[in-house]
Amino acid sequence: MAFADVNGVSMYYEVHGEGTPVVFAHGSGGNHISWWQQIPYFSEFYKCVIFDHRTFGRTPDEAVPKGRTAFADDLEGLLDHLAIDKAAIVAHSMGGRTAAVFSLRNPKRVTALVFSGTNGGSDNEESREVRKKHKASPPFLPEGAIKALSPDFSERFPERSLLYRQIMRMNPRHGPDFLAPRPNHNGSTDERFSELGIPTLFMVGQEDKLVHPKTIEIASSLIPHSEFVMVERSGHSIYYEQPEFFNELVHGFLKTNLPE
């Protein structure tokens, strides 16, 4: 465990294992601990980098906060600090924004991308309409359910559900507009990603209640070289609910697409 002085903040990170670098970027309900079911597996094959985004876990923001607008620059600074020239990025939900922006700014530094529960900015009118209807009529969740997990997960796995909540509670509170699109949003990323040709895997849980699965399927369809996987019996956080499936799927994708 360590801290790196990058981009105006003291950024918490950990490095596990040796080999080709793979960075794991957590979502808004997590922090570096979220990957506790991935690191023991992937560190057998890769140099795994986990970190806390600014305002999450053990990484603070600056006196004049930049919030998520600095996420991609923070990641660039962390990789520079670690002398990592190129890396694959496994990004969940909010972490997809970090991965997408960093990749578009630094395409030669990204060997492969995994987008879990996030469209990576790949969007069109159809997916925006799906998202609008989904927001207007949110799916029903039973009492005690965690939105980021499948509806019956808490009932089936009370211990792991408690841990999920505890990891979330380690983060400072964020305002409701923390992840709202910026006014100067530049539109869909699909054309740029199509041009760059970075190997990309999109996955989404069939029971995702936070992100409509159709929007992720559309995101992948807009990038011809990308792959798409719908995961049955999983909600938004596939990496947490089905770690064995997630790990094997991502490992297989990386083995196929990373340079020797």
| Residue 88 scores a pLDDT above 70 | yes
Share of the chain above pLDDT 70, in %: 97
Q: Which of 131-145, 155-169, 193-207 has the lowest mean pLDDT?
A: 131-145
Top-confidence residue, 259 or 119:
119
Mean pLDDT of 149-157: 94
Which tokens go with 237? 């956080």
Using 50, 70 and 90 to split pLDDT, how confident is the model at 181? low
Q: The dihedral of CA 219, 220, 222, 223: what is its sign?
A: positive
| Residue 183 scores a pLDDT above 70 | no
pLDDT, one tens digit per residue, over 15-31 is: 999 999 999 999 999 99
Using 50, 70 and 90 to split pLDDT, how confident is the model at 138? confident
Angle between helices 125-136 and 213-221 (to 10 degrees): 170
Which tokens go with 75? 């990641």
Cβ neighbours of residue 12 closer than 8 Å, sequence gap 6 or more: 1, 2, 3, 32, 51, 52, 57, 58, 59
Using 50, 70 and 90 to split pLDDT, how confident is the model at 140? confident
**Which helix or strand (DSSP H or E) is residue 13 part of?**
strand 9-16
Cβ neighbours of residue 38 closer than 8 Å, sequence gap 6 or more: 24, 48, 90, 239, 243, 246, 247
Topology of domain 2-173+188-257 in CATH is Rossmann fold (3.40.50)
- Give pLDDT, residue 90: 98
pLDDT, one tens digit per residue, over 44-65 is: 999 999 999 999 999 999 999 8
- Give pLDDT, residue 189: 95
- Give pLDDT, residue 48: 98
| Residue 185 scores a pLDDT above 80 | no
| Residue 184 scores a pLDDT above 70 | no
The single residue listed with the structure tokens 């080999």 is 19
Mean pLDDT of 252-257: 97
Which tokens go with 232? 């049955």
Top-confidence residue, 135 or 230:
230
Mean pLDDT of 171-199: 82
Centre a 10 Å sphere on the Cβ of residue 48 and count the other Cβ atoms it contains: 25
- Give pLDDT, residue 72: 97
- Give pLDDT, residue 175: 79
Which of 71, 63, 57 has its CA nearest to residue 3?
Answer: 57
Say if CB 46 and CB 254 are below 8 A apart. Answer: yes
| Residue 186 scores a pLDDT above 70 | no
pTM, entire model: 0.95
Estimate to the nearest angstrom the gap between the alpha carbon of 134 and the chain centroid. 21
